[in-house]
Amino acid sequence: MYAEIDVALPRHPKSLRLAALLKEPDAWLRMVRLWMWAMEYALDGDLSRFTDQEVAQAMGFSLDADPTLISALKKNLVASGFLDSNEKMHDWKDRNKYLRSKQVAMRKLRAKRGTRVTPVLPVTLVPLPLNGTDLIGSEQNRSTPPLPPVGGDEFERFYQTYPRKEARGDAEKAWKQTARDRPPIEALLSAISLQRSSDQWTKEGGQFIPLPAGWLRKKRWADVVTRNYGSDEPQYQDPASAKRILEIVRAAQEKPA
């Protein structure tokens, strides 16, 4: 399951409008979180049945955020162009290719069976960490969910999103090797989205983008992003970018079983 995220999103006029309304330079990151949330809880893209507070939580706002900002959140999303006036996400069906393919498949299945079918979304098991290799065959190891297969849905999402598609075999090995210490797939995709606009990844046609295997093994998802907004302006580092990714990682690690 995936939604398209254009590399120009951080500089898109809608993102700039939302940044001004929310007073957050990187407000577009909250839209990425909202899209990911909608893939699970609002597949039709309709947010009219959710309150502003619920949408705010989906976008990553804390429960003690400014009530004035939260109460006007959907209104600001409409004003920026991310929501239509009926509170449906703009161009959601075009963005959500997974939804389109599922809808086509479900229509065919209903026509064949003559019944209404409820779609079942895939469930990903997160493996529990092992402390050493001596647990093989032990009671503790038998209770530990197996690692997801290399080349599975999450690896495909990562590999298809990563801009440099070389040495896939090595990337699959790195995916397997980092299974127990890499962040959730959403954090990886957010990191890639951030780094797409970095100075290193955009310089000289992207020839300095690291291979996907090296990016995984060296934990490059936590890199501090360096951006350049024109030859007349200085480069600057955005430590908040890496901080957001690390916060997602820590939240996943601290989540009770």
Q: What is the pLDDT of residues 92-128, one digit of tens each?
A: 776 665 555 665 666 677 777 765 444 444 444 444 4
Residue 208 · residue 201 · CB < 8 Å: yes
- Residue 130's pLDDT is 43
List the structure tokens of 184: 């959730």
Using pLDDT thresholds of 50, 70 and 90, give the confidence band for residue 210: very high
pTM of the shown model: 0.39
User: Could you give the CA distance from residue 211 to residue 232 in angstroms, rounded to a whole number?
Assistant: 31
**Which residues touch 205 (CB under 8 Å, ≥6 apart)?**
none
pLDDT for the residue numbered 177: 92
| Amino acid sitting at position 140 | Q
- Among 2-6, 111-115, 179-183, the range scoring the smallest mean pLDDT is 2-6
What single-letter DSSP state applies at residue 115? Answer: S
Q: Is the pLDDT reported for residue 69 higher than 70?
A: yes
Contacts within 8 Å (CB) and 24+ apart, 197-206? 197/7, 197/10, 197/11, 197/225, 197/227, 198/223, 198/225, 198/226, 198/227, 199/226, 199/227, 199/228, 199/235, 200/226, 201/163, 202/228, 206/163, 206/164
pLDDT of 16-27, one tens digit each?
Answer: 999 999 988 888
Query: Which tokens belong to 148?
Result: 């997801």
What CA dihedral angle connects 74, 247, 166 and 126, to 10 degrees?
Answer: -100
Residues facing residue 226 across a β-bridge: 237
- Tens of pLDDT along 214-240? 999 999 888 877 655 444 443 444 555
